[in-house]
Amino acid sequence: MQPHAVKVPVIVSVPIECEFWSEGDGWTGSYPQLTITVHGNNFENTKRNMEAALQAKLESILRSHSGSNAAA
């Protein structure tokens, strides 16, 4: 009997250390390793923007990597 495999999405939480600083009337956050910079009107908003930007960038990298495997 051949085993049956299923594909199931798995959500992974990975802590990433980013830099944040106040600037003018808002905040800026940066993760230079992936060339990500975000802005917000307060720290919490900027942190949420960074989370969203990191999520989008990592999904893009994984899609790109997955696509290159499919073409091989």
* Cα 17 to Cα 64: distance, rounded to the nearest angstrom: 24
Contact 40, 27 (CB under 8 A): yes
* pTM for this predicted structure: 0.79
pLDDT of res. 66:
81
Q: Collect contacts of 4-7 with beta carbons under 8 A, ≥24 apart.
A: none
pLDDT, tens only, 42-61: 999 999 999 999 999 999 99
* Cα 62 to Cα 54: distance, rounded to the nearest angstrom: 12
Task: Compute how many other C-beta atoms are within 10 angstroms of the C-beta atom of residue 5.
Answer: 6
pLDDT, tens only, 21-38: 999 999 999 999 999 999
Whether residue 72 has pLDDT greater than 50: no
- Quick check: helix, strand or coil at residue 21? strand
Whether residue 70 has pLDDT greater than 60: no
